[in-house]
């Protein structure tokens, strides 16, 4: 965690500390005597003298005690004033159980009270699936029954609701920060069901996120139960089963972005199915569909094998990922998919290949890392946290556009270089808003309000820069173009055109080149990242990892996404996806199905092989739901062939 800058005062302090032991920066940690090692880690009492040159070029001499690596890292983490700095330092921190209470959180006096032989910490550490039967079998005296009756009824009722929404594998002591978005949403849902309110309007935004089809069935039954109590539910959803289960559907479209915003169809699912204008209806009636591949790839014969994976609930499993293939990791919520792919495969392989310092999950060995050239995790985190970040800057196409503007005769006459057309540096940008185009007004007790800049009116640039035009458009006009509009505009510039067409390929033709990153959904951000990777000249030995890339995507968007992922594999790369969506699962070359359930009942490899192989494994819940989808797709494909 020490900065690499030799002029930093931290570095000077470390240098002075080593000199006190007659050592230099080339020394190994083992060269320090035991006392020195302790001081290096936790700080020393002896006062050190070291010199430091400040920003004004003045050399100052300081005297202070060496702080020590551990307290220094902890202090810098707590004082970090940027998220990036905090994230960087978090790589050197791990969470460990408290040595006094051993994770129980309470004092011995509180833990002395027991119910059914267990204290409150032990009961909180039980998964819901075990806690319910434990409470049912409690042996109480007549007096205790009278006292506990109302309490037990409330506790059992709430636990039952958690079980009904597919969260029976969770423990009550589970940290909120470790929950997925879908799990947190279902806990809130269970809380509302438990309230037993009537006449309430509930709004749910994609409650099926992160849910296996088996859990989705439980969720739909719960939502119908809430409706039957006399409540109204409005659900934003792409999941086909949810759409078919609805009483009323409002279909917005017909396209996305500027091509959307209209009510294309509304009515019962049958009404939507009959609508010729609705893309959703076209998928419901089988007119549009995601076909099964003509053949499943076998891979290139090489494997990346993890042996003895035992992090969290993984049961010391061995898993092989075929290279040069499209692999999907499936399984119920909480079965260990994210642990295996993100914490062990990605972080472990990144530590080997990229020399990162992730706190990787536990495993014995990883074989085949030498066959992978590089590893890329394409997640749904924003492409930037400020309105300054946008698709044009993230993909690098803006560099080419600025270069093009600097080559115009007007720009050459004025001596403008590409930097003049950047809104991040002084010169061409509007200084009133520093190139943001908007001004943030901080409201003391309300959310911050953004208003267009009064000087540039949102254009980001000053008047002189906006006077330079290419084909009648200034740089601000170009940033306001959609990708679809920009493609014909830059048709004579292959470098720019190739990048724009890649954005079209991943289904982002509707987004604006200068659209602020803060206004983009997780699915859009992920596809911008995917397009950026496609723009690079690949080596053909890259491992791409995606965690539920279909989140927030319509079936039509999923179809486009799959074309891109299959294209990456056709180039010789390996794609590993964690996914529940059966349209993605059915087109995989290879499936690794974990389970059979979540939590303690998961963490095993239930089945491996092609989708056809998985369908034949009776123990696999994924196979049970995949089989009818595969059969239905074959029927639709056959019907289309006959037509």
Q: Do 400 and 434 share a domain, yes or no?
A: yes
Q: How far apart are CA 367 and CA 264, in angstroms?
A: 52
Q: How far apart are CA 101 and CA 322, in angstroms?
A: 44
| The pLDDT value given to residue 177 | 75
Flag whether 98 is in a domain. no
Element (H, E) at 546: strand 542-547
Q: No. of H helices and E strands in the chain?
A: 27, 17
Mean pLDDT, consecutive 10-residue stretches, the chain (643 aa), reads: 71 83 89 91 76 69 79 87 78 84 93 94 93 94 92 91 84 82 77 81 87 86 89 94 96 87 96 94 94 94 96 94 97 90 94 84 95 90 84 94 96 95 92 89 77 92 95 95 95 94 90 90 86 82 92 88 91 94 97 90 95 96 96 93 80
Element (H, E) at 223: helix 213-228
Q: Which domain holds residue 65?
A: 9-90
Q: Under a CB-based contact definition with an 8 Å cutoff, are residues 550 and 558 in contact?
A: yes
| The pLDDT value given to residue 454 | 92
Flag whether 309 is in a domain. yes
Q: Do 356 and 400 share a domain, yes or no?
A: no
Tell me the β-bridge partners of 595.
604
Q: Do 407 and 375 share a domain, yes or no?
A: no
How far, in whole angstroms, is CA 383 from its chain's centroid? Answer: 12
Q: Under a CB-based contact definition with an 8 Å cutoff, are residues 113 and 120 in contact?
A: yes
Q: Under a CB-based contact definition with an 8 Å cutoff, are residues 280 and 567 in contact?
A: no
The enclosing domain of 475 has a CATH number of 1.20.1580.10
DSSP 453: -
545 Cβ partners below 8 Å, 6+ apart?
341, 342, 345, 346, 375, 376, 377, 378, 576, 577
Q: Do 121 and 243 share a domain, yes or no?
A: yes
Q: Under a CB-based contact definition with an 8 Å cutoff, are residues 71 and 41 in contact?
A: no
**Maximum pairwise Cα distance, the chain:** 96
617 by Cβ neighbours in 10 Å (0-12 / 13-18 / 19+) ranks as: middle
| The pLDDT value given to residue 574 | 96
Flag whether 358 is in a domain. yes
Flag whether 405 is in a domain. yes
Q: Do 541 and 611 share a domain, yes or no?
A: yes
Flag whether 270 is in a domain. no
Q: How far apart are CA 175 and CA 184, in angstroms?
A: 11
Q: How far apart are CA 621 and CA 606, in angstroms?
A: 9
DSSP labels, 556-617: HHHHHHHHHHHHHHHTT-EEEEE---HHHHTT-SEEEEEESSSGGG--EEEEEE-HHHHHT-
Q: Under a CB-based contact definition with an 8 Å cutoff, are residues 629 and 586 in contact?
A: yes
Q: How far apart are CA 64 and CA 51, in angstroms?
A: 11
Q: Do 444 and 545 share a domain, yes or no?
A: no
Q: Do 455 and 468 share a domain, yes or no?
A: yes
**Per-position b or e across 291-315, b if 16+ CB within 10 A of its CB:** ebeeebbebeebebebeebbbbbbe
Residues in the chain: 643
Q: Do 356 and 453 share a domain, yes or no?
A: no
504 Cβ partners below 8 Å, 6+ apart?
483, 484, 487
For the chain, the domain total comes to 4
DSSP labels, 254-280: SSSGGG--EEEEEESHHHHHH-SS-HH
| The pLDDT value given to residue 53 | 67
Matching residue, tokens 């939590």: 599
- Residue 313 half-sphere exposure toward CB, CA atoms < 13 A: 23
Domain boundary among 519, 543, 567: 519
Q: How far apart are CA 273 and CA 269, in angstroms?
A: 6
Q: Do 506 and 565 share a domain, yes or no?
A: no
Domain boundary among 493, 519, 545: 519
Domain boundary among 519, 538, 572: 519
Closest CA to 380 of 516, 525, 486, 532: 525
Structure tokens that stand for 274 in this block = 């009959």
The enclosing domain of 345 has a CATH number of 3.40.50.300
Q: Do 83 and 141 share a domain, yes or no?
A: no
Flag whether 476 is in a domain. yes
Q: How far apart are CA 311 and CA 306, in angstroms?
A: 12
Structure tokens that stand for 485 in this block = 């509009």
Flag whether 277 is in a domain. no
Structure tokens that stand for 327 in this block = 């692999």
Q: Do 81 and 146 share a domain, yes or no?
A: no
Q: Do 530 and 420 share a domain, yes or no?
A: no
Flag whether 95 is in a domain. no
Closest CA to 350 of 299, 396, 304: 304
């Amino acid at each position: 965690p020490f900065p690499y800058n030799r002029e930093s005062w931290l570095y000077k302090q470390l240098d002075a500390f080593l000199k006190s032991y007659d050592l230099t920066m080339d020394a190994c940690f083992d060269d320090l005597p035991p006392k020195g090692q302790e001081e290096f880690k936790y700080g020393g009492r002896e006062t050190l003298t070291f010199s430091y040159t400040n920003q004004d070029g003045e050399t100052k001499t300081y005297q202070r005690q060496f702080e020590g690596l551990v307290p220094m890292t902890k202090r810098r983490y707590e004082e970090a004033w940027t998220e990036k700095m905090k994230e960087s330092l978090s790589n050197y921190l791990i969470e460990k159980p408290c040595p006094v209470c051993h994770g129980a959180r309470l004092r011995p006096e509180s833990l002395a009270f027991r119910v059914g032989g267990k204290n409150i910490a032990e009961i909180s550490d039980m998964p819901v699936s075990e806690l319910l039967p434990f409470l049912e079998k409690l042996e109480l005296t007549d007096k205790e029954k009278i006292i506990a009756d109302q309490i037990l009824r409330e506790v059992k009722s709430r636990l039952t609701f958690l079980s009904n929404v597919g969260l029976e594998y969770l423990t009550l002591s589970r940290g909120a920060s470790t929950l997925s978005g879908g799990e947190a949403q279902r806990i809130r849902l269970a809380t509302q069901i438990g309230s037993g309110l009537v006449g309430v309007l509930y709004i749910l935004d994609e409650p099926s996120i992160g849910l296996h089809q088996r859990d989705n069935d439980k969720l739909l039954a719960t939502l119908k139960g809430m409706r039957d109590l006399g409540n109204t539910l409005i659900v934003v959803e792409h999941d086909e089963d949810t759409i078919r289960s609805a009483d009323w559907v409002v279909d917005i479209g017909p396209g996305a972005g500027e091509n959307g915003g209209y009510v294309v169809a509304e009515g019962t699912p049958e009404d939507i199915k009959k609508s010729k204008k609705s893309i959703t209806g076209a998928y419901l009636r089988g007119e549009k569909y995601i076909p099964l591949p003509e053949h499943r790839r076998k891979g290139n014969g090489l494997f990346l094998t993890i042996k003895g994976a035992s992090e969290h609930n993984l049961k010391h499993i061995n898993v092989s990922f075929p290279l040069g293939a499209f692999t999907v990791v499936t399984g119920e919520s909480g079965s260990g998919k994210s642990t295996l792919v993100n914490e062990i495969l990605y972080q472990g392989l990144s530590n080997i290949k990229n020399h990162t310092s992730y706190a990787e999950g536990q495993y014995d060995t990883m074989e085949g890392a030498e066959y992978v050239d590089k590893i890329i995790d394409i997640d749904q985190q924003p492409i930037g946290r400020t309105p300054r970040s946008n698709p044009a800057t993230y993909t690098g196409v803006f560099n080419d556009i600025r270069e093009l503007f600097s080559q115009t005769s007007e720009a050459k006459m004025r001596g403008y270089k590409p930097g003049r057309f950047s809104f991040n540096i002084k010169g061409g940008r509007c200084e009133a808003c520093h190139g943001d185009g908007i001004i943030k007004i901080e409201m003391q007790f309300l959310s911050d309000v953004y208003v267009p800049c009064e000087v540039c009116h949102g254009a980001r640039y000053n008047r002189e820069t906006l006077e330079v035009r290419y084909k009648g458009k200034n740089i601000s006009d170009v940033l306001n173009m959609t990708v679809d509009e920009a493609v014909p505009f830059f048709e004579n510039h292959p470098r720019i055109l190739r990048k724009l067409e890649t954005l079209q390929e991943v289904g982002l033709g509707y987004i604006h080149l200068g659209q602020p990153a803060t206004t983009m959904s997780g699915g859009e951000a992920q596809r911008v990242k995917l397009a950026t990777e496609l723009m690079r000249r690949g080596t053909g030995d890259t491992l791409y990892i995606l965690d539920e890339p279909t989140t927030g995507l319509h079936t039509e968007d999923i179809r486009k996404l799959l074309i891109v992922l299959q294209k990456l594999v056709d180039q010789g790369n390996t794609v590993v996806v964690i996914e529940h969506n059966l349209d993605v699962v059915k087109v995989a070359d290879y499936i690794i199905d974990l389970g059979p359930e979540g939590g303690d009942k998961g963490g095993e490899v239930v089945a491996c092989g092609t989708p056809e192989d998985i369908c034949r494994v009776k123990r696999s819940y994924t196979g049970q739901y995949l089989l009818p989808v595969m059969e239905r797709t074959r029927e639709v494909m056959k019907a289309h062939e006959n037509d």
